[in-house]
Every structure is written in C-alpha cells, then in structure tokens.
Amino acid sequence: MIKLTARTVLFSSVLAAFSLSGCALTDAEAEQALEIADSPSNLNTPQPDWDTPFWEPWSQAQADGNKGDQPRAVSFNRRDQPLANVALVTDGAVQAALPETLTKEAAEHGLLILPKGLVQDAIAHTSECNDLASQACRSALAVYPGARLLVQARAGDGGRVAVRVWDTALDKELTERVANNDQGAARLLDSLASQAATADWSARPFQGEGNALYIAAGRVNGLAEGTVLEVREPGRPVRTPTGQVVAWRAGEVVGKAKVAEWVGATLSRIEPVSGTAPSPAHRLSLAP
C-alpha cells in the first residue's frame, strides 16, 4: 500500500483546489502545490521525517549524505505503486461535495483524480468520445490522459448519483449508486480503489513530436525521473468460468525503459534502456 504522511494529505488538498478550478494542472501550479505542502508553517507541525516517500527523489540523497545532489531515480517498495489516474465526468446537479471529497482523498486510496479541464480537453479532442461508453473512447483515454478508470457520475432522483465506471485495463464496466454528498464520495472511493487493485499500475506509451515517446504519468503520480520501467507485451484479462473479468495478467517482459524527464505534472518522456524499445503496442510497468 502507498505510505501516507501528513504531506500526502496536505498535498492532496492543495491539488484539489487547483483541480476543481476546472483547468488542467500546469507545471507552475504543480510546483506551487509542492511548495505549499513542503512548508512547515503550512503544516503547523514540527517538520516530519518523510521516510523516503516514493515521490521524493531528493530524500534518498539525504539518506546517502549527498544533500547537494538530486538523484534522477527513486527506490520503490514492491508494494508501492504510482497513483492511478481517474478521469471523472459529472452530469446534472452533482453536489460539489462529491467531486471535492473524491479529489482530496483520492491519494489515500492510491488514486489521482485528473484535473477537470484536462479531462474535458481530452474528450473534446477525441472524436470517439461522442459516446463515453464506446470501447474506442475508453481505449483512447487510457492512452491520454492515461485514465485507468473512467468514471461518469450522473445526478438522479432521491439525492442519489448513478455512477458508471469503466476499467480501461480490464475492459470492464461497473455500476453503482451513491449518495450525492461527501459520504457517497467516500463509498465510491473505496469501490474505485478496490477495482484499481485488480491490476498493477501500468501506462501506455504514445508518440509525440520528433518520434519521442511519452506516458500520461509524472511527478504528481509519484513517478520520478530516472525510474526504470519494464516494457511488456499487452497481457490479457483473467476470467472466471462464467466469463467475468476479475484480474489482469501482465504480458511478457521484453525490454526496459526509463522516465527520461517530466514534461508536465502528469506527463513524462521515456527512453529505451535495454531489450525491445517501447512502442504504442506495449505497456510499461514498474520494474521490481
């Protein structure tokens, strides 16, 4: 499980404020959020020992006595995973408390609610997303903005919200009804975290300018520059005898790549390291 600290909770709250503004998170905004979370005066507590949380590459340098140098990579505990991206779309009179709670508390569940503006922009520029339920739309959003889960929350009668969740890794749909408030959001977060846990974190590379490859994950997800990733074949779902998809079996490792640089708060450029070079046909996952 991801290890939580006071900084995690505060950073999630600050991130929520930016996300709910309806705009995509820029590098400057992400930097400001990190500065706020790092400020002892804002924490109003003695400066804590972060115990090398996986999104702090400089903390390893402190442990090694190299305080003047920032390493390019970070050690992951095997149980640690970057935050899984969740694309949230709300329809109708969904109370503000529901998306606010989802955004603020997502990190505690290993999730990152993508900024509203980022999701809206991606959908607007994806012709297949005239219908969110279409497989073509889900597949496109899984690549960019890297949505592991696509969530549509539609306000209904009786103070309830009808929720449809598409797991883009397992190509699976779930439905749920929750209260149109923060308690409903808490229940939904538990469900989303449970679903995300059915498959380890992975990202789908895509080609950008100059044939460079990118993934829709970055420092806000907790993915450090220099992190080594396994290049894997696509993999396949695990089904019960009745055909129900319950898990994902990762494909064969055919090479290694690394996070070369952060390009945005939730975007990174990747480079091959060994074996088969990554392509849009592969999935990238954390190396053990």
What CATH number is attached to the domain comprising 214? 2.40.10
Whether the model pTM is above 0.85: no
Task: Return the residue matching tokens 């949380």.
Answer: 53
- In a domain, residue 109? The reply is no
- In a domain, residue 235? The reply is yes
Question: Residue 232: its pLDDT value, please?
Answer: 95
Domain holding 209, by residue range, is 202-286
* Distance of alpha carbon 15 from alpha carbon 189, whole angstroms: 17
- In a domain, residue 63? The reply is no
State both tokens at 97: 């408390």
Q: How many domains does the chain have?
A: 1
Q: Where are the beta strands (DSSP E) in 120-170?
A: 149-155, 160-167
- In a domain, residue 124? The reply is no
State both tokens at 237: 């779902």
Residue type, 266: T
**Residues of the chain under the 50 pLDDT cut:** 1-11, 13-14, 16-24, 33, 36-79
Question: Residue 14: its pLDDT value, please?
Answer: 47
- In a domain, residue 275? The reply is yes
To 10 degrees, the CA torsion angle through 123, 129, 132, 134? -150
State both tokens at 262: 């952060």
Chain CA centroid to CA 180, Å? 24
Question: Residue 158: its pLDDT value, please?
Answer: 86
* Distance of alpha carbon 171 from alpha carbon 167, whole angstroms: 6
Task: Quickly list H helices, the chain.
Answer: 6-19, 27-38, 40-43, 57-64, 97-105, 116-124, 135-143, 182-196
State both tokens at 134: 């279409």
